Structure 1
């Protein structure tokens, strides 16, 4: 998908959606794209991370805005979408007007979930919202990705298999494993692609996810 609107969303907090949204937006900007990251979460974590990036003078710069209200998000996105090549929306943590608006306006929703049964059950909520959005947004794609996945053990496979219960979301076999480098990078407004020391495993996982999305 090239030049599309992507929402990284979930109705559950703590699944790492902001970290994923930051990594995707920054990676696209590093590839020469004109990117807009919309923070649609009331907590504003993505906006804070990009403010830290801006204060540090890190390039490429990422345009950002914080719209936690669904009506405001809808109005601003419809007005400004033509100015950018790629738009990434960080939405959710709860069922909100902003998340619902983002789903209706997006081409693709990326649903991160962790390899724990409670997180997989929570996928049912976002799956229901996706089905509702498809009633008015024909062609909305939904992809599920294991985020903060285990480096070993069977929990990853069990969680991926459980996602089959929600046909509204297609599973991507490109897990992002739990790595300190990813968390450290995001805290500084960076993608793991920029982090030093370099984490080749984390970079390979992110690149595999980006290739699957775009």
Structure 2
């Protein structure tokens, strides 16, 4: 589904990604874990076209998209839930969901919204609430549901636990498990390695713009601290 090879990205003269490679299979859940500043957000932004790749390649189903505009990447079936959630605060929950499904045929929108409410029941109780008054956990679920509205083949989620209380993180973890169970390919970026490894089949560890380890989640879990310190 997704192949990233030797990806380099820069902000001006500062190189943020130093030849990163990874892949996500169809229907697979993959995590990118690492400390703050590791380059995880830049990686997702480069895949989705929000940051222009300096070199290397990004392929969706074999099609190279590393220098493709973000809206064209979205049309290929990639949804990006950004760091900070980017909820449209003045709009209702329902309108946020409609924004996510703007490319669906009109006859499908209501049915897809009902699927999202079934996946995230709390949203069904808050459809007429403004996005800005939701709790952090509710906003994260709304952001994920909005990303899923377009029926993506790959859903990328950046730092889903950021700024949430530990109790709420558990709710988000449950939500991610439900998303994975739908068969959508998922690439999740997280500082909270425990959460990410619990959701993902495989994981990549990033430090300072480099992938320093990769493997099955259960294989990485035992020596993750040692990898970070190294």
Q: Same fold (TM over 0.5)?
A: no
Higher fraction of helix: 1
Higher fraction of strand: 2
Greater RCO (CA < 8 Å, at least 6 residues apart): 2
